[in-house]
């Protein structure tokens, strides 16, 4: 993404003490805000300004311009960046989100709307008195569900509470009931997500994250390196991933591959005899040496328990040093 300016006109929820709880941006934009912004949207949102005595909050229109190269400077700025991601105007890891958690307050998310966490039991009484029935508390967190603000076209999300605002879901993506997608994570092509995508993890076209599978956000011991899946990859059920994968890779069910996992390389699908006809032990390397490699099957040897890597389709595994396995 080359454009590093963004702007939006939103509707903020503000407490009586002046704390901004959330901001909804129906139509965020990349680029510099034109003179006058969007008068039609401004008028629509101004018509929604109101006060809620039960929650002791009011809504007000905000206009925000962000330099996406810099850290978020306010709650309204942070929410604009999360909307950009979920509206597919920016892909994960392309805008500055450093310190975003410090800009977001912890909020009591209820069926009546966001509420301050402070003195919430008193708020609960007021909500019950106002509505005549209990308000449902869906969570106490900094990040709200994406579907409460943005529903990207062409996706299926079985449980909206498990996809945070700031997730990026490409058209055709399916997030199953147990799937979880954090902010600044998601798919950049059609994918199926049954497991967990941590912050910063992206999944390529045609890939499948199996049920119970988990991903680490960063590669341990490698500065600024992100875990990701390329195209047509499969994370088996209850597997785990702590390195980036290239295209057409498979991690067998139950296998957890981290940067420091010792992996036996099996060229040709098995051990190879030496020049005297004796079988030799396979080469042993840390999994970090396979970071970004394509056409690799990671499996566990059912007899020894060791993790093995085989080239799929008779391909040669290319290590990070450039040498072939």
Buried (b) or exposed (e) across 18-27, using 16+ Cβ within 10 A? eebbbbbbbe
The answer to whether 53 is a known catalytic residue is: no
* CA 158/CA 153 separation, integer angstroms: 15
Strand pairing of 57-67 and 5-15? antiparallel
| CB count in 10 Å sphere of residue 277 | 6
Q: Where are the beta strands (DSSP E) in 242-323?
A: 250-251, 256-257, 262-266, 283-286, 296-300, 307-311
Q: For residue 143, what are the contacts with CB-CB under 8 A and spacing of at least 6? A: 82, 104, 164, 165, 166, 183
Which residue out of 194, 205, 308, 323 is catalytically annotated? 194
Match 């390195």 to its residue by tokens. Answer: 243
202-203: strand order across its sheet: 186-187, 202-203, 228-229
Please state, in angstroms and as integers, the Cα–Cα distance from residue 225 to each residue in 7, 246, 317, following that order. Answer: 29, 14, 20
Match 């006060």 to its residue by tokens. Answer: 51
Buried (b) or exposed (e) across 134-171, using 16+ Cβ within 10 A? ebeeeeeebbbbbbbbbebeebebeeebbbbbbbbbbe
Q: For the chain, what is the largest distance between any 2 Cα atoms, rounded to a whole number of angstroms?
A: 86
Q: For residue 95, what are the contacts with CB-CB under 8 A and spacing of at least 6? A: 1, 4, 68, 81, 84, 85
**14, β-bridge pairs:** 20, 58
Residues with catalytic roles: 194
């Amino acid at each position: 993404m080359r454009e590093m300016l963004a702007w939006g006109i939103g509707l903020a929820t503000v407490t009586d003490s002046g704390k901004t709880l959330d901001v909804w941006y129906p139509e965020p934009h990349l680029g510099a805000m034109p003179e006058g912004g969007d008068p039609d949207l401004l008028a629509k949102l101004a018509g929604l300004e109101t006060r809620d005595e039960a929650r002791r909050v009011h809504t007000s229109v905000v206009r925000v311009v962000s330099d996406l190269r810099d850290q978020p400077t306010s709650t309204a700025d942070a929410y604009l960046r999360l909307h950009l991601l979920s509206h597919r105007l920016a892909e994960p890891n392309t805008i500055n989100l450093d310190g975003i958690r410090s800009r977001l307050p912890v909020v009591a998310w209820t069926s009546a709307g966001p509420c301050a966490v402070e003195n919430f039991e008193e708020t609960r009484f007021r909500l019950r008195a106002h509505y005549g029935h209990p308000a449902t508390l869906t969570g106490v967190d900094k990040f709200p569900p994406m579907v409460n603000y943005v529903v990207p076209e062409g996706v299926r999300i079985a449980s909206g509470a498990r996809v945070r605002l700031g997730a990026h879901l490409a058209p055709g993506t399916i997030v199953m009931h147990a799937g979880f997608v954090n902010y600044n994570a998601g798919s950049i092509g059609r994918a199926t997500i049954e497991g967990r995508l941590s912050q910063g993890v992206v999944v390529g076209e045609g890939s499948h994250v199996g049920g119970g599978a988990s991903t680490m956000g960063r590669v341990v011991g490698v500065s600024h390196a992100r875990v990701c899946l390329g195209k047509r990859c499969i994370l088996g059920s209850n597997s785990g991933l702590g390195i980036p994968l290239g295209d057409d890779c498979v991690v067998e069910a139950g296998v957890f591959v981290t940067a420091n996992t010792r992996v036996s390389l099996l060229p040709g699908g098995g051990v190879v005899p030496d020049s005297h006809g004796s079988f030799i032990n396979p080469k042993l390397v840390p999994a970090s040496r396979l970071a970004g490699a394509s056409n690799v099957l990671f499996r566990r040897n059912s007899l020894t328990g060791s993790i093995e890597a085989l080239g799929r389709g008779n391909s040669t595994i290319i290590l990070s040093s450039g040498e072939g396995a």
